[in-house]
């Protein structure tokens, strides 16, 4: 039977709690939980008044859990997407883990460390702070794991990522100074993540937020920050850090919740050339 639009039902989904992580922007979040950061700790806080403390009984006996959650920062989707990793080939949405989906549902498997009342201490996550949690399920190895299954086109991408990075990266004196100042004064540190992306392929890419700059060179978006870089042969030179927001927006009412707003304002005051153009 072919489903018709008139057969569709409106489904109501309510959060049961929220994730508490250190990641405030999409750029900070990994594409999948980083298993090398098994010592990482994050918190899931469930909402009071619904009896969830009883629903959590016996969950602590499991080593890992599935979190079902909502992509609260995304509102649009495309049937064909450009994955952030690997060669620039568009794939069908349902053959990817793209966060831009017809229904903004995500799923993450993570380590469960403890359950105390309505608070779960968990391990590695790919969730932004305040991500709505809509369900929790135990991870059951004999049901949830199929290690011999094909990974489809991801096997091709895995081979691609096993190759050494194609580019080396260097910093201009100005960029080095700016990045050191941001790290020491504001605990803003996005260089490692940017290097991971650029060292593979610095060409313009929508998903990786890399674009040509009208004034010359290229920009990569790093959350609310931008890195201006140039390329020569196989060397990438990061020239300077720029604010991702013009001053007029940072000082307008309603923009007080821009990520790292105070750091951006302080940065522009110290480095006037760091205003985006």
Q: What is the CATH number of the domain that holds 86?
A: 2.40.30.70
Local confidence band at 5 (pLDDT 50, 70, 90 cut-offs)? low
* Residue in 139, 160, 118 with CA at minimum distance from that of residue 33: 139
Q: What is the pLDDT of residues 162-182, one digit of tens each?
A: 778 889 999 999 999 999 999
* Residue in 59, 63, 55 with CA at minimum distance from that of residue 17: 55
Whether residue 161 is contained in a domain is answered as no
- Both tokens of 181, joined, read 């100042």
Q: What are phi and psi of 260, to 5 degrees?
A: 60, 30
What does the pLDDT read at residue 163? Answer: 75
- Both tokens of 140, joined, read 């059951």
Q: What is the CATH number of the domain that holds 202?
A: 3.30.2310.20
Whether residue 90 is contained in a domain is answered as yes
Same domain flag for 27 and 56: yes
Same domain flag for 212 and 264: yes
Q: What is the pLDDT of residues 224-248, one digit of tens each?
A: 999 999 999 999 999 999 999 888 8
Whether residue 160 is contained in a domain is answered as no
pLDDT reading at 71 higher than 80:
yes
Q: Of 154, 183, 203, which residue is a domain's last? A: 154
Same domain flag for 222 and 247: yes
Q: Which domain holds residue 214?
A: 168-274
What does the pLDDT read at residue 1? Answer: 43
Rounded Cα–Cα distance for residues 67 and 26 (Å): 18
What does the pLDDT read at residue 136? Answer: 97
Whether residue 162 is contained in a domain is answered as no
Q: How long is the chain?
A: 277
- Both tokens of 168, joined, read 């080396």
Same domain flag for 13 and 150: yes
pLDDT reading at 149 higher than 90:
no
Same domain flag for 180 and 262: yes
Whether residue 72 is contained in a domain is answered as yes
């Amino acid at each position: 039977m072919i489903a018709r639009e008139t057969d569709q039902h409106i489904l109501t989904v309510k959060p049961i709690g929220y994730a508490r992580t250190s990641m405030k922007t999409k750029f900070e979040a990994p594409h999948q939980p980083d298993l090398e950061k098994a010592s990482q700790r994050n918190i899931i806080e469930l909402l009071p008044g619904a009896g969830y403390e009883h629903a959590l009984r016996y969950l602590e006996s499991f080593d890992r859990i599935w979190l079902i959650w909502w992509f609260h920062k995304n509102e649009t989707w495309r049937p064909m997407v450009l994955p952030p990793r690997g060669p620039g080939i568009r794939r069908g949405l349902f053959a990817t883990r793209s966060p831009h989906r017809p229904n903004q549902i995500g799923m993450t498997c993570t380590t469960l460390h403890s359950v105390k009342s309505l608070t779960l201490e968990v391990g590695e996550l790919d969730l932004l702070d305040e991500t709505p949690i809509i369900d929790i399920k135990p991870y059951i190895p004999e049901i949830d794991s199929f290690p011999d299954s094909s990974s489809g086109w991801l096997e091709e991408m895995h081979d691609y990522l096993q190759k050494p990075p194609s580019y080396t990266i260097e910093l201009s004196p100005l960029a080095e100074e700016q990045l050191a100042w941001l790290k020491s004064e504001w605990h803003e540190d996005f260089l490692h993540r940017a290097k991971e992306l650029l060292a593979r392929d610095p060409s313009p890419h929508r998903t990786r937020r890399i674009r040509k700059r009208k004034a010359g060179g290229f920009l990569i978006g790093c959350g609310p920050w931008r890195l201006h870089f140039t390329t020569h042969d196989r060397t990438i030179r990061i020239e300077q850090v720029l604010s991702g927001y013009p001053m007029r927006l940072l000082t307008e009412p309603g923009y007080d919740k821009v990520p790292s707003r105070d750091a951006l304002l302080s940065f522009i005051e110290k480095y006037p050339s760091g205003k985006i153009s």
